[in-house]
Amino acid sequence: MKVPLPLVAVAVLVYFAERGTTTDKKNSADFRALCHVYALYEGRDSITAGTPPETAANLLQIIEDYNTSTASDTWFANKDGKMKKPTGEPDADAQTAWDKHKQSLLEKETNGKKIYERLKMTPARTAANAKIQKALQRAKDLNDSLGGAATAYATDVANVKAKLTSAVFGKENAKIDAAAATGNWAPRCSHNGGGNGLTISSSLALAITCLCSEKAGSVDNCGIGSNSKWADAANDAGEKVTELWPALQNKCNTYARPKQLNPNTIYAAIAGVMSRMGKGNSQAAPSKTNVIGETTDSSCDGSTSKLCLDYETALSTAGSGIKWINDLQEAATLINNATSTAIEAKRLQQLMDLERQRAEDAYTDALHVESQTQTPTTVTIENKALNQQQAQKDCDKHHASQENCTKAQCNYDANAADGKKCKPKPEAETTAVGTGDGETRNAEVKSALKNRMRIQIQ
């Protein structure tokens, strides 16, 4: 069938139009994959590595306050005389500050009850203080470990950011070093950068610039909206690279950055890049498989049909890998380290709280013992014994007279076997006696003890 000329003309025009634009945006998928890696750098302030550790000064202070409340009288008064100036003289300012601190402890209350009531000098207080001092020392050691964890965590996070910066720019400076990115496309964008300075393996920013900047500048390889041209002799001082990079950087920033930066997001970005290896190689039997971007014969020279990144040497058995990927992997490891440190710090904080509880329990036990020594039962028994002794003395004066014995409110027994005819009357049972555990108090004892008892008597 004969095809009319107008249709043939149209077909020819379409054919040549397609031939002329075969490389337009052909590296776009590769560019996006590299931009997703760049987004890790932009998201460096979203590192997810657990709660940053911090020292537990508040818990330590609570234990120290319990220690003060149970300390010896001399230590409570002036820390055993150890508050001195470098000259050896007593430090009056330190003593004043210490006195104010003690007073503030005595005034602290919760629900109307004293928190750090000063205990009296008793064996119970001494025993409690010994326990609290041990808890305090353990807490100090734990707090020191927390301080170390906080430092290690901060160091790891800072190093993560440094590794991300190094991955992008080849150095820990957040910009392309023009002096290290000089020369034409062919040597600078080769696997070794012409033997000096930045390479496509050491700097992601340079790799992106090489992938998207054709020597002739006739096509928009990465779809950034304008042609990027890296003509020979245009980059003698690195000025062309530093000129081309900002537009590419801005385009990368149009893609979403990760909301959380963790090892998973890092390895996902790396996998995205590795999946692009060889995808743009149209050679029938590719001689190289580790090439990113468009090529017709596995080689990369910056021309229209060979605008690609050759990582064959870097990923060979003898190669050292792609440095910016190595940096990313190290960043992932550092995030894991920081996460482990945060978990350990949480455990240390829980142990410190346990020491606080031990100190509080020791103090409460001593306070309860002090309370028990002043219960109504003890007071009543002591008063009863004293009353009986006095009554016996009064009655002993009237063995010879029944009349006088009766007047003294004693019982007279004329037939007493021991000859002591005048005896005290039996003591009446009292109903105001407590149980001995602080559950009840008679009005007299409650009035005498209410200002120094911490335990509420019901």
Dihedral sign from CA coordinates of 217, 221, 227, 232: negative
* Cross-strand partners of 292: 309
Element (H, E) at 8: helix 5-20
CA gap 65, 9 in Å, rounded: 96
User: What is the bridge-based pairing of β-strands 113-114 and 109-110?
Assistant: antiparallel
CA gap 82, 243 in Å, rounded: 68
> Is pLDDT of 108 > 70?
yes
**pLDDT for 58-96, tens place per residue?**
999 999 999 999 999 999 998 888 899 898 888 999 999
**pLDDT for 359-410, tens place per residue?**
999 999 998 887 776 555 545 555 666 677 888 888 888 888 888 888 888 9
CA gap 443, 456 in Å, rounded: 14
Q: Which has the closest alpha carbon to 351: 92, 145, 166, 117? A: 145
Q: Are 176 and 242 in contact (CB under 8 A)?
A: yes
- Torsion-angle region of 426 (φ positive above 0: left; ψ -120 to 50: alpha; else: beta): beta
Q: Which has the closest alpha carbon to 202: 239, 336, 247, 210? A: 210
CA gap 328, 334 in Å, rounded: 10
Residue 231 has a CB neighbour count (10 Å cut-off) of 15
Residue whose entry in the numeric block shows the structure tokens 């003509």: 231
**pLDDT for 170-192, tens place per residue?**
998 889 999 999 999 999 999 88
> Is pLDDT of 436 > 50?
no
> Is pLDDT of 106 > 60?
yes
**DSSP 8-state class, residue 250:** H
Looking at residue 236, its amino acid is D
CA gap 444, 372 in Å, rounded: 16
CA atoms within 13 A on the CB side of 261: 26
CA gap 26, 28 in Å, rounded: 6
Q: Which two tokens stand for residue 65?
A: 């306050």
